[in-house]
Amino acid sequence: MLTKGGVGTSTTRIQRWVIAFVVLAALTGAMLVVRADLDKAHVALLFLLVVLIGSSIDGSALGLTLAGCAFLLFDWFFVPPYNTLAVTNPLDWLVLMSFFITSLVASQLLAHAQRRTEEALARTTEVERFSTLGAETLNAADPVEALAAIAEVIRATLSVDSCDIYVHRGKEADLELLAHAAAPKAIRSASTVGRASGLLAWVGGRKEMAVERKDGTVSVGAAAEDAGAGARNESHSGWFLSWGDIADARAIAIPLTVQGRSVGVLRVANEPHVDLAPGQRAFLNALSYYAALGVERLQLTADASHTATLRDMDRLKNALLAAVSHDLRTPLTTVKALAHAIVERGASPGDSNAISIEEEADRLTSLITDLLDYSRLTGGALQLVPQIESADDLIGAALAAARGILESRSVRVTDDASAVMLLGRFDFVHSVRALVNLIENAAKYSAPGTPIEIGVHRDGAHLVISVSDRGAGVDAADQERIFQPFFRAPGVAPSAHGVGLGLAIARGLATAQGGDVTYEARPGGGSVFSLILPAAEQPLLPVE
């Protein structure tokens, strides 16, 4: 079926109409020669054949016109009285009306079948394009190449001069051209691209369609959310806007969105104007969704590459920390032993310096131990031996290990008076290390004269050991960040010992055993850090 076109197309259509009427006239003349031997049924069938052929050649318009002319010729030449439109026999009216109605219905049915055939062919072409698009996308190992293949499929499908896909880089206003497909005859003008860059940034930022006209003006479409129900599904980037305004459009810019997030802009251009049929407009909506998925794939690939790089750097950092920490322990042990020997002799004026050397060696040894423990935690090399242990033994061992940290600080221990003995299933050595870190943290960040309270109780399937102080507390914004490695809260004095690994190691040791370390503000000021470990039931002794 012919559509709009230029002079050549109109001339061809006129020729078909002329040929159809010439055939109708020739058939009428031939039947007039043998009119005496023809029955009315023969005339009706021959005229109906001409109507059907005309409808198949140029659609229902020609078929209906031929049907009307054939009706008049039938009545004039082949229904008595001849050479007049008068009909004397009522049965002849039945024949004429049956012929006319049959011609109309047959012409319309044939035209409808032709339209359905054309639509089926168009759908077949779309399916082929989609399969080509999928094959091109899957075969391209590089996501940029896949994006270029998508742009070329869109350009070839819509028969436009060029198709460009722009991707957001950093800010939404920053667009980078990553895919360009152009017909051999298309000329890419740098000035046109320069003028369009600001509009494309606006389209990507506002997520609204824009049309560039031949006279230089720009029209903006409504946002997809305002386009009515069914405009698009939740993850689709298709746009069902007012396409009636693109008759003289030189270029169309469509935002590419995935899950409501703008990822880029699709721009199609053609000279002298972009001529899209209704089916092509819907097809462009579907193809733009594929383009948005291609951009999303590009961004996901970049994120995955960046994540892999960070993972490799983190693995290298852990290996370096473990190697350096292990190599530093031997010379530090030697330095500490020599300084201790000097202090033991006690007759040298440099004894005070030797004491300082021994203390600093202890600090470096503690720091290296923290680094080694953290590297083991992050590297999955931590070995645990969980056994049933007493909470009292755990607290006693932790206080003995932290005796040098606490100095003259008063410590009060409270337990659950209703429980005979609180037991847990945990690794004793690593749990002592976690609790010592909490006690050291309380001593470091609270005033020297304030007491530290240690409480223990049973909470369901967990054993909870809390360490409370009267320090400055932790800001709400930093309550989770304090458990990150190397984090030091703002306002901490530079002279404070440590590098910010104590709480991270304590939580890591507890988590590895199925527990946790939590923080909560203490009523009246201060902090409460809780070491949570798996609880255990008291074993039953056999009765003799």
Is residue 466 within 8 Å of residue 406, measured between CB atoms? no
537 CB burial (10 A radius; 0-12, 13-18, 19+): exposed
Regions of the chain short of the pLDDT cut 70: 1-11, 122-141, 170-173, 185-197, 221-247, 277-279, 317-330, 346-352, 379-381, 416-419, 489-499, 539-544
Is residue 533 within 8 Å of residue 513, measured between CB atoms? yes
Query: How far from 346 is each of 105, 194, 354, 355, 415, CA to CA, in Å?
Result: 123, 83, 10, 11, 45
Q: What is the mean pLDDT of the chain?
A: 76
Locate 445 and state its tokens.
Answer: 């960040």
Q: What is the pLDDT of residue 64?
A: 82
CA distance 118 to 432: 80
Q: What is the pLDDT of residue 467?
A: 94
Per-residue pLDDT tens for 451-461?
A: 899 999 998 89
Backbone torsion region of residue 136, taken as left when φ is above 0, otherwise alpha when ψ lies between -120 and 50, otherwise beta? alpha
Fold of 387-536: Heat Shock Protein 90 (3.30.565)
Is residue 230 within 8 Å of residue 285, measured between CB atoms? no
Q: What is the pLDDT of residue 129?
A: 64
Could you tell me where in the chain the CATH 3.30.565.10 domains are found?
Answer: 387-536
In CATH, which superfamily holds the domain spanning 140-303? GAF domain (3.30.450.40)
Q: What is the pLDDT of residue 533?
A: 94
Q: What does DSSP say about strands 162-169 and 527-536: parallel, antiparallel, or unpaired?
A: unpaired
Could you tell me where in the chain the CATH 3.30.450.40 domains are found?
Answer: 140-303
CA distance 416 to 63: 99
Q: What is the pLDDT of residue 468?
A: 93
Q: What is the pLDDT of residue 432?
A: 92
Per-residue pLDDT tens for 17-52?
A: 888 888 888 888 888 888 888 888 888 888 888 888
Q: What is the pLDDT of residue 266?
A: 86
| SS3 track for 223-250 | CHHHCCCCCCCCCCCCCCCCHHHHCCEE
CA distance 168 to 201: 9
Q: What is the pLDDT of residue 431?
A: 92
Among 435, 467, 436, 432, residue whose Cα is nearest residue 451: 467
Q: What is the pLDDT of residue 456?
A: 93
Q: What is the pLDDT of residue 186?
A: 55
- Which helix or strand (DSSP H or E) is residue 517 part of? strand 516-521
- Which helix or strand (DSSP H or E) is residue 351 part of? helix 351-379
CA distance 351 to 203: 76
